[in-house]
Structure 1
C-alpha cells in the first residue's frame, strides 16, 4: 500500500496569534484551537495546516505529513529508511518517520489502530 498524498503541513511559530491571523488572511478557516497556543486550519479540500507555538529559543520547524489509509497494511519499500515505525500519538493518530536519500525526515500519518 502506498501513501495517498499530502495530508497536512505542521508548522511551528513563535507567535500563535500572528500566525493564525496570517493564515486566516490567506483564506484558511480555524477548525479548532487548543488551550496551549496551537490549532488546525483548513482551506477547501486540500491538506490541513496545524500550527503550534514553540519557545523563542527553539527554531520553528515545518513538517509535511503524508496520508496513509491503514498503518497495518503499509509496507515501506527497500529505498525507504524507516526511522521510527508507526506509533500512537497523543492526538489520536499513528505516525511513522522515514528518511529520504538526502537525509530529510518525512512523516506518514494513519488513522488510529482498529480496536
Structure 2
C-alpha cells in the first residue's frame, strides 16, 4: 500500500487563539473551528493544519498524518510495525498508527467507511 503524501499536520497548543492567529498571519484560512478550542486551517491545496488546545499540564505535540486512499488495502504481510490498527474516528475518517525503524510514530489517515 502506498501513501499519497502528507494529509495534515496536527498541532497541540496551550493557546488556540494565538496559534490560529499565527497561522492566519502566515496566509492560512480558517476552514472551521469547534466549541472546544480547536479548528482546521488551510493554505492552498496542500496539507491542512489542525490545531487543538491542550491543558497547560500537557506538553504540546506535533503529528504528521499521511494520506492513505483505502484502509482496507493495507497488506497483512507488511513489514511496517502497526502500533494501532485502523480505527474509525469521531470526525469521519479511519486512522492507524505505525512506528518507523527509529521509533517515531506516524499516523495514517484514510476516508471513513461509506
Q: TM-score range by the shorter chain?
A: over 0.9
1:84 is aligned to 84
- RMSD, aligned α-carbons: 0.9
1:23 is aligned to 23
Any stretches of 5+ residues in structure 2 without a counterpart?
A: none
User: Does residue 51 of the first structure (1) align with residue 66 of the second (2)?
Assistant: no
Q: How many pairs were matched up?
A: 113
TM-score by length of 1: 0.95
TM-score by length of 2: 0.96
Any stretches of 5+ residues in structure 1 without a counterpart?
A: none
* Inter-partner Cα distance in structure 2 for 1:75 and 1:24: 39
* Inter-partner Cα distance in structure 1 for 2:81 and 2:70: 19
Q: Which contiguous aligned blocks of 4+ residues in structure 1 show a shift greater than 4 angstroms?
A: none
Task: Report how far residue 75 of structure 1 moved.
Answer: 2.3
